[in-house]
Amino acid sequence: MKKILIPTDFSLNSYQTIDYIIQLFANECCEFYFLNSYNYTVSGLNAIEMLHADDDWFDKPKNESIEQLGKLIERYTLKSKNSKHEFNAISEQHNLVDSIKKTIKSIPIDLMVLTGKTEKTVGKHTESILKKIRCCPILIVPPHASASKGIYLTIASDFKRKINTLEIDRFVKVLENTKVDVGILVLEEQNTLADESKNNLEALISALKLTLSQDIDLEYIQPTFRLKDYARSHHDGIMCIIDNKPDWLRQLGLYKSKAISILEKLRTNTVLTVHQ
């Protein structure tokens, strides 16, 4: 059984994400884990008042989380009617990132699914998760996404670094009973591609051929702002971007990942983020 983690805040957009994922994995045997994290609101309370707060004050956020998760499980158990799917609920009293870390530590998650936003900037929760959770591929689903019977996955990169296909392979294997076609989008003109980039591109193609039976489409674009035009013309597909391992400057928060700026260009597309 594939194990898919879906953090939720019970918003309309998060429900749309779940609908999309259930449809996307219709042919796969999956265990879906709906995760809700909650914290206590302490604004206006001092330390003495917190010590004297009654049990109801502490129990309310927990009970609300469990109640909403129960409704979510009931909704999709009745709605899905797919014997290949199982639904589970996790309620955690932590911030979202720590809740995800705790869950992944106890459950071998194959894929995490986040709900995207329509704004031009990437949400702070998504940015924090991409920065701190690097042990599984992450699928970011925009509002109103629709899944088709087959999947076209486009791997976009400038290939200045060698790509480890481990997380790409994990994603493809999760969809082993679903038709997945793969294309490669080189963010550079073919005649200006450096030798090292050519070698990295050839290494990726060779690695993908070990797990894929079909031909791999190859396309070059330059400059990279055309990536947005490409994404618009492949709206029903999934764009795959590479988030390189952060160096110490990025870990200190002195600059953001290049993947964040790419995500901002692809905010209307479903995006698979894989880590190096």
Residues 85 and 77: beta-carbon distance below 8 Å:
no
Q: What angle do CA 273, 190, 260 make, to 5 degrees?
A: 25
Q: How far is CA 96 from the centre of its chain?
A: 14
Average pLDDT value for residue range 168-191: 92
Q: The domain containing residue 168 runs over which residues?
A: 2-275
pTM, to two decimals: 0.89
CATH at 175: 3.40.50.12370
Query: How many distinct structural domains can be found in the chain?
Result: 1
- Rg (C-alpha) for the chain, rounded Å, is 20
Q: What is the pLDDT of residue 150?
A: 83
Q: What is the torsional sign of CA 102, 80, 67, 143?
A: positive
Residue type, 115: T
Q: Quick one: pLDDT at residue 81?
A: 85
Q: What would the mean pLDDT of 246-268 be, rounded to a whole number?
A: 71
**Nearest in space to 104 (alpha carbons), one of 268, 266, 275:** 275
67 alpha-carbon distance from chain centroid: 26
Chain segment 87-142, per-residue pLDDT in tens:
999 999 889 999 999 999 999 999 999 998 766 667 788 888 988 898 999 999 99
Q: How many angstroms separate the CA atoms of 149 and 154, rounded?
A: 16
